[in-house]
Structure 1
Amino acid sequence: MIFHTLWAYLYYAFLLVCCGYAIMRGGRSEYYGAGIMTLGSLSTLAVARAFGSSWSQVEVGIFAIDVVGLVALIFLAFRSDRFWPMWAASFQLLAVTIHTVMLLDPQITPWAFGTGAVFWAYPMLLALAIGSCENVVLAPDRRVRAG
């Protein structure tokens, strides 16, 4: 199964570190981003375990999860004053594009399809972590007051 490989353990450790850091250090956008990425990853794991994932054809459940994640990240990018959600949405768009390419040309090898679809989660998490690192929370006496 998907969770029985070393790469899967490394990914979920990276997910835990990046999302945990975002929750501890980030603002509202980082909280939502961490939630979107965690929910997407856990939903993908559940679908892959329930229905199996051979990556030899379009994984409809995983594709649907990726599309919902893309819509959520685009919405976050529009609503946020931060720059990192645009990067995360762009990386998620690349993951969705890999699924779309598999729809158009099902002769893509399972290794290329699986690797291409999963790879873009790492830069997304990295964008979240960098965005959290750049989040500056000013002390109450240093905030700019309007009017």
Structure 2
Amino acid sequence: MAPFQLFYLLLSLSVFAWAWLRGGHTERAGVAILVLAFLASFMMQPITLGQFRLGDAIVDLAVFIAMVWLALRRDRWWTLAAAAFGGLILIAHALMFLTPNLQEAHIRMDVASRWGIGVLMILCLGAGVVERWMAGEQPVSLRARWRRPERRPEHRTT
């Protein structure tokens, strides 16, 4: 395993554990999205279109859609930044798809750029936990609800 891969793995695992234990529902959803993407990438990795890694692109598209959905549904800034980094990863995939005569050097540059952007996405999640801590917000408890509370209709007196 390359040193950067080891760094990426250890950083991801530590931020995921910290976000799960100290974060809110949004941070836990972010952890779930990124862990599911990691697991799905193993299943999708063999799917290629020529030398283009179509399976990786599909997983990254799903992460982008999930992060945009999370950003639109929740009130945390880090989800917008993570969605933006997901968009950059999709641009890297598009550039690789449009590159004629892919060579191994191109593929290495693509993977390196996506790893670097992935680290930034993980750091956004960690910064979201720091923001929650600095704002004095409590982490979610095990008894906390995972869905929004139902709104009760207001009673109006006329």
The structure whose residues are more often helix, as a share, is 1
**1:59 pairs with one of 53, 56, 63:** 53
Amino acid at match of 2:29: Y
1:84 aligns with 2:78: yes
- The aligned runs of 1:1-147 (5 Å cut-off) are 4-48=1-45, 51=46, 57-107=51-101, 109-135=106-132, 136-137=136-137
Amino acid at match of 1:21: W
Q: Report the CA distance between 1:131 and its aligned residue.
A: 0.4
Q: Report the CA distance between 1:111 and its aligned residue.
A: 1.7
Q: Secondary structure of 1:57's match?
A: coil
Q: Secondary structure of 1:134's match?
A: helix
Q: Percent identity at matched positions?
A: 26
Q: Which runs of 5+ in 1 are unaligned?
A: 139-147
CA distance in 1, matches of 2:100, 2:124: 31
Give the TM-score normalised by the residue count of structure 1: 0.80
Q: Report the CA distance between 1:117 and its aligned residue.
A: 2.3
User: Computing the radius of gyration over CA atoms, which structure comes out larger, 1 or 2?
Assistant: 2
Q: Secondary structure of 1:41's match?
A: helix
Q: 1:14 to 1:45 in 2, by over 3 A?
A: farther
Q: Report the CA distance between 1:11 and its aligned residue.
A: 1.4
Q: Report the CA distance between 1:52 and its aligned residue.
A: 8.5
Deviation per CA, 1:40-89: give whole Å up to 9, x if none: 122224433xx289xx9320111000000000000000001111000000
Give the TM-score normalised by the residue count of structure 2: 0.75
Q: 1:27 to 1:41 in 2, by over 3 A?
A: same
CA distance in 1, matches of 2:47, 2:111: 13
CA distance in 1, matches of 2:94, 2:20: 32
Amino acid at match of 1:101: L
Q: Report the CA distance between 1:112 and its aligned residue.
A: 1.3
Cα RMSD for the two superposed structures: 2.0
Aligned to 2:151: none
8 Å CA contact 1:15, 1:38 repeated in 2: no
Q: 1:121 to 1:110 in 2, by over 3 A?
A: same
Q: Secondary structure of 2:29's match?
A: helix
